[in-house]
Amino acid sequence: MRLIGDTNIPFVPKRRLFFILSGLMMLASLAVILIRGGFNYGVDFTGGSMVQVHFTQPVSTDAVRGALEKFGEGGAGLQRDDRGDFLIRVKPREFPGKETFTTVLRRQFEASFPGNQFEILRDEMVGPQVSKELQGKVLLATALGLLGILIYVSFRFDFRFGTGAVLSLVHDTLITLGFVALFNKEVTITVIAAVLTMIGYSVNDSIVVSDRIREDVRKMRKESFFDVCNQAINKTLSRTIITSLTVLFVTLALLIFGAASIKDFAFVMTVGTVVGTYSSIFIVANFVCEWEKKFPSKRRR
């Protein structure tokens, strides 16, 4: 199936324009992250408790905030999703006896909202030491993943393609995290899983384009390397768009109809799919061409 017929779009001749556009998007993402003062880290990374509560009858955010203030948690992080569920996040705190934040919260809500039944859909608690260890493990996993991709793509193709793939992943990750900060999404293990999934999806697209370039370099010996790259991007364009749309339909469905616990995952995947598709078309091969221009490789046999 071909969604798009044969094309001859000048991707490579216009590569400087795409580099400038990508640079502006990356700078904008950095600016958003800095203006926001960093990310809105979840309990997984800060320690503390997170509770998701669903009320049978509608309750205002101010009413829930007032109930929290009655037992000293007026500064708790409070979010309300489109279903009316409340996400409550608090820092670590010691309670007397065997009580926990959840038991105190339940008792307070029963007193503050009599006759309005509620259900605790999610109850998570992470200690500060565990959260610090988790941060280190996430950074290590991401670094090892990028290193593994660099080694694999460099071994399968050459170092130029490996470097281009890794730079495109940095590009995709930074822009996606910029959207996470812009919409004040909570950075949790679920969001990190979505980012790593997006990285895997993006590198797969990059490999498809790189593989086409490698095949065409052997067949089109009279063509310049830049023409080969441009034609390779055009030849894989239909496949790239069909694959991206397939993923995008699923992530949008999850984003619109999914439960609150999976919406952040769907949001990151939706943004990451769009950005990853852009980089696989406009960045990877163009970076290799720019490298070839500055450091020409040996003549093709």
Mean pLDDT value of segment 286-301 = 75
The model's confidence at residue 301, banded by pLDDT at 50, 70 and 90, is: very low
Domain shared by 148 and 97, yes or no: no
CA 215 to chain centre: 31
Considering the chain, what is the average pLDDT of its residues? 84
End residue of a domain, out of 81, 100, 125: 125
Indicate if the pLDDT at residue 44 is higher than 80: no
Indicate if the pLDDT at residue 85 is higher than 70: yes
- The predicted model scores a pTM of 0.77
DSSP 101-120: HHHHHHHHHHHHSTT--EEE
| Nearest by Cα to 112 from 147, 68, 167 | 68
Domain shared by 170 and 276, yes or no: yes
Give the tens place of pLDDT for each residue, 198-224: 888 888 888 888 888 888 888 887 788
Give the tens place of pLDDT for each residue, 248-261: 999 999 888 877 66
Indicate if the pLDDT at residue 135 is higher than 60: yes
Domain shared by 226 and 250, yes or no: yes
Output 98 or 285, whichever has higher pLDDT. 285
Which CATH number goes with the domain that contains 235?
1.20.1640.10
Indicate if the pLDDT at residue 11 is higher than 50: yes
Give the tens place of pLDDT for each residue, 51-72: 889 999 888 888 888 888 888 8
Helix/strand/coil for 210: helix
Q: What is the pLDDT of residue 127?
A: 64
Domain shared by 272 and 211, yes or no: yes
Mean pLDDT value of segment 170-179 = 93
Domain extent for 114: 48-125
For residue 4, being part of any structural domain is answered with no
59-89 burial: b if 16+ Cβ within 10 Å, else e: beeeebbebbeeeebeebbbeeeeeebbbbb
Q: What is the pLDDT of residue 175?
A: 95
Domain shared by 110 and 184, yes or no: no
Domain shared by 164 and 55, yes or no: no
Locate all alpha helices (DSSP H) within 36-127, ordered by sequence: 43-46, 61-69, 101-112
Distance CA 284, CA 165 (A): 6
Domain shared by 163 and 215, yes or no: yes
Q: What is the pLDDT of residue 128?
A: 58
164 neighbors 291 (Cβ within 8 angstroms): yes
Indicate if the pLDDT at residue 94 is higher than 60: yes
